[in-house]
Amino acid sequence: MQSGMKKIAVLTSGGDSPGMNAAVRSVVRTCAYHGVECIGVYRGYEGMIEGDFTTLNARSVRGIINKGGTMLKSARSKEFRTVEGRQKAYENIKKEGIDGLVVIGGDGSFTGALVFNQEFGFPVMGIPGTIDNDIVGTSHTLGFDTALNTVVDAIDKIRDTASSHNRLFFIEVMGRDVGHIALNCGIAGGAEEILIPEEDLGLDRLVESLNKSRTSGKTSSIVVVAEGDKIGKNIFQLKEYVDENMEGYDVRVSVLGHMQRGGAPSCFDRVLASRMGVKAVESLLNGESNYMVGLLNGKMELTPLENAIKGKTKINLELLRVSDIMST
């Protein structure tokens, strides 16, 4: 290792996601492995501003790899968006003797890390933690796989009711700007239609598709809707439109909400978090800075934070085609 770093801090910021605790554990234990002190920052950037730090060692993070949420807590900091707020944060971490920072979060958290680095030249490394899987530079963000399993389990349960009562269910999943959760879970859950922000199906075509499904002999249907879908103002407007333009269906709505962010992380997310934590710490110790750790083609790779923030993930066109075929 080349950097001479003796103390590395870790924080979680923005929305929580399953796997954040596993990533914190990995950062702490990788620091311990290399003889580097690790400092936990409570409540993200707000904790940096207030100097809310704690020393973490290998034993401090035992028993958390299977826990959802984040032991370091998370908060959005308005003050960190100001020059004065970032100056306070910088003074606190320098006073603590911290040499580098690992930020676990999404694009908002990475934007804060990038600005902090640009203003103070402070070494930062990002680990992508968000269930939306909307960060460029990694095939999977922490929590995405767990969220998929949570949603599919819910869809399976709702389908039991849908088939028992000949009902049409609109199921809303998270995804304000991207439809990765909806598309994957729609296919896995056998949905008749999948509505995502990237594809505007249109209300008339939706009704036409549902009528076609019923004509083919389906007595119940599941439609998975990403919260950012552009067809209607919201999922309840979709229900009203179908109520008015289709007969014979008892239409219901289920909004899964924040349950998608909770729960024990999947095996995949635990392993991914462990790999990302090791890569993040060892990259800092090797003198790297201003990067995000990501999974690309099965390997841990570094992507410049600026590219991760400014890039836009693309929907998988093969999955779109598969969903069309499977809904036949």
The catalytic residues are 132
Annotate 47-76 with DSSP letters as a single string.
HHHHT-EEEE-GGGGTT-TT--S-TT----
Tally of CB atoms within 10 A around 194:
28
Phi, psi of 53 (to 5 degrees): -115, 155
The 10 Å CB-count burial string (b at 16+, else e) for 71-100 is bbbbebbeebeeeebbebbbebbeebebbb
Tally of CB atoms within 10 A around 203:
15
Tally of CB atoms within 10 A around 321:
10
How far from 268 is each of 21, 142, 189, 258, 275, CA to CA, in Å?
14, 9, 20, 21, 11
CA 256 to chain centre: 15
Q: What is the DSSP letter of 122?
A: -
Beta bridge pairs of residue 222: 169
What's the number of CA atoms in the CB half-sphere (13 Å) around residue 56?
28
